[in-house]
Amino acid sequence: MSRFVRASKYRHVFGQQGKKEYGFDNIKVSSSAWDTNLISASSRYISINWNASGGGAFAILPLPSPFEPFPHGFPYKLPDLIPLARSHSAPVLDTDWSPFNDSVVASAGDDGKVMIWKVEPSVFEGWGQEHWEPQDFDPVARIDVSPRRAGQVLFHPTANNVLATTTGDHTVKLWDLANPEHPKVVLGGHGDAIQSLAFNPSGNLLVTTCRDRKIRLFDPRASGDAVRVTEGHGGIKGARVVWMGERDNIATTGFSKMSDRQVAIWETGGLTNVKMITIDQTSGVLMPFWSDNNILFLAGKGDGNIRYYEYEGDQLYGLSEFKSADPQRGMCFLPRRALNVSECEIARAYKLTATAIEPIAFIVPRKSESFQSDIYPPAPSSEPALSAAEFFSGKTAPPNLVSLDTGAISAGAPPSAVPSTPAPQLVSTPTKTSSAPAPVAASVPSTPAQAEPPSPVVTKTPSSPVAISHEPKTLTRSVTNPEHDTFAVSALKEENARITTELREARAQIRNLELQVESMKANARKAAQALLEG
C-alpha cells in the first residue's frame, strides 16, 4: 500500500444535513414506475412529482436551506391539502426549471403533454393559517408532444426558451416555446425507450441513453440521426448520462449483464470508453450529478448514501460518502450560482425520501471567512447566451458564467467540436473495467489510461470515427507495412475479445462459487440449529 496520499483540496468534503424543520415533511411522492429523479430545483423553488387522484400533478414549494429555517413561519410539515399543478390527465413523469428564470418550470406527463408553469411569489402567503384555502397552479402554455408518453423534459443550457422532450415513440423533440405548434427538431434512431438525455454546456451537442443499451450523440441542428453510436452498459435497466462540464467527456451509470451497478467515462470524439468501474450489486438505479469542481456525485435509488468522486487524469478517485439511514426515492442538485459561499458549500443536494425532502450541503472544511476562489469556479449564470431563433438558425455561443464572488458575467469555454461524419451502429464492449465497492480509495487501472484528447480523434481519423482505441499507445505509431499493421490490429482485437470472454466466464464462476458457499453456510446453520433443538 502506498505511503503517499494524493493531494486534493476536496479530500475532506463532507455532507451536512439540515435539521428536520429545515426541510419538508408529509410529502406524497408519485407512485409512477417511470424512472426519473422525481424532484427538480431552481435557485428559488423546488418541484416534486406528486401522488394525486384525478390525473397527474406535481407540487411547487419554496426552496429549503440546510443552514436556516423557512422565513415567516412557513410550516415544515405540509398540510394534507396544498396547491398543486394539476392540469395533466395522467401522472407527471418529469419536471425541469428554466436556467434563465427561476420561476418557470416545465412538466412532462404520461398523457403525452408538456406544460409550462410560472410561479408567483404571492401563492405561498398564508400557508396553513386559519381560513387558508389552497389555490392550484394554472399552466401558461400546453404542448402536444406525442400521442403517447412524454417521458423527460430538459431546458437548453444557453438558448432561452428552447426545450427538449422525449416521447413514447422513442424520439427527442426540440421546441421553441415562443412557437410551440410544431417541434423545430426531431431526433430519432432509438430502438427502445429513451432513459435519459443531457446537453453539453454550450448546448450544441446532445447525448442520450436508451433501453436498447446504446449511447447516442447528436448534433441536433445538423441531422435527426446520431453522429456517434456505441454500445453502453450491458444491462437494459436504468442507464443515466451526465455531461462532465466543459470536458469532452460524459459519465454514464447503468448495469452490467450480471446486474452489477457501474459507472463509466466516455470521450465524445469517438464515444470510446475511457473508464468502467463496478460499484456494487445493489438493484437501485444510480443517479449521476456533475459539479464543475470536477466532482461526480452518485446517488442510488433505495440507497441511504451518496458517493462522490474527483475526476482527474482520466481517473475517478473516491473521496468519501454521505451516509443516512433513510433511503432516497429521488434527488436533485441546486444550481451552483445559488450556493452559500460563506459556508464553503460547493454543492447542495435535495434528497427525496418516502415522506420528506432533506437539504444536504457538501462543504469544504475551512476556517477563513474570505471568499475561497480556488473552490468556486464561475457558475452558469441566469443570462442566456442565445435566443431560440439564433440557436435554431445555427448560431453557437459559449454559456455565460457568473463569478460567485463579484457577480461579474463572463463567457465560458468555446463550444465542443461537433463530430463531422455520421457513425454506423457499433458493438464495442468496454474493456477497461475495475471494481470500486466503496469510494474510500483511488481507483487506478493497471493498464495505461487513455490520454488522447477527444477532438484530435475526430480530426485525425474521419474515415473511422468510432475506431476502438483501447490498444496501448506504443501500438498506435505509424507502420510502414500496411498489411502488417492491419494484421497486428486484428490480432489485438481478437486477443482483447478472448480475454473479455474469459473474464466474464471467470466472474460467473466466482458468483456460482459464492452462491455455493452461502448455501453450505445455510445448511450448516440448519444442522447446528437441529443439534441444539435435539
What pLDDT does residue 436 have? 55
Biggest alpha carbon distance in the chain?
A: 87
373-411 tens-digit pLDDT: 999 999 999 999 999 999 999 999 999 999 999 999 988
Q: How many CB atoms lie within 10 A of CB 478?
A: 6
Low-confidence stretches of the chain (pLDDT < 50) are: 1, 423-432, 437-484
DSSP 418: P
> Residue 71 corresponds to which cell in the numbers above?
422565513
- How far apart are alpha carbons 401 and 206 in whole angstroms? 20
What is the number of alpha carbons within 13 Å of residue 256 lying toward its C-beta? 22
- How far apart are alpha carbons 94 and 39 in whole angstroms? 8
What pLDDT does residue 5 have? 72
- The candidate with the shortest Cα–Cα distance to 291, out of 239, 366, 216, 364, is 364
- How far apart are alpha carbons 40 and 357 in whole angstroms? 11
What pLDDT does residue 356 have? 95
Residues 171 and 150: beta-carbon distance below 8 Å? no
What pLDDT does residue 114 have? 97
> Residue 198 corresponds to which cell in the numbers above?
443531457
189-248 tens-digit pLDDT: 999 999 999 999 999 999 999 999 999 999 999 999 999 999 999 998 889 999 999 888
Query: Which parts of 119-256 are beta strand (E)?
Result: 141-144, 150-155, 162-167, 172-176, 185-187, 194-199, 206-210, 214-218, 228-231, 240-243, 249-255
- The candidate with the shortest Cα–Cα distance to 330, out of 51, 100, 12, 11, is 51
Fold exhibited by the domain 14-379? Methylamine Dehydrogenase; Chain H (2.130.10)
What pLDDT does residue 500 have? 72
For 453-473, b where at least 16 C-beta lie within 10 A, e where not — what string?
ebeebbeeeeeebbebbbeee
Burial of residue 327 (number of CB atoms within 10 Å: 0-12, 13-18, 19+):
middle
- How far apart are alpha carbons 457 and 420 in whole angstroms? 12
Residues 107 and 88: beta-carbon distance below 8 Å? yes
Phi and psi torsions of 459, nearest 5°: -75, -30
Percentage of residues in the chain having pLDDT higher than 90: 63
Q: Report in angstroms the alpha-carbon separations of 152 from 42, 109, 414, 443, 468.
A: 17, 8, 28, 33, 31
Residues 352 and 139: beta-carbon distance below 8 Å? no
SS3 content of the chain, % helix, strand, coil (to 5): 15, 35, 50
Query: Whole-model pTM?
Result: 0.78
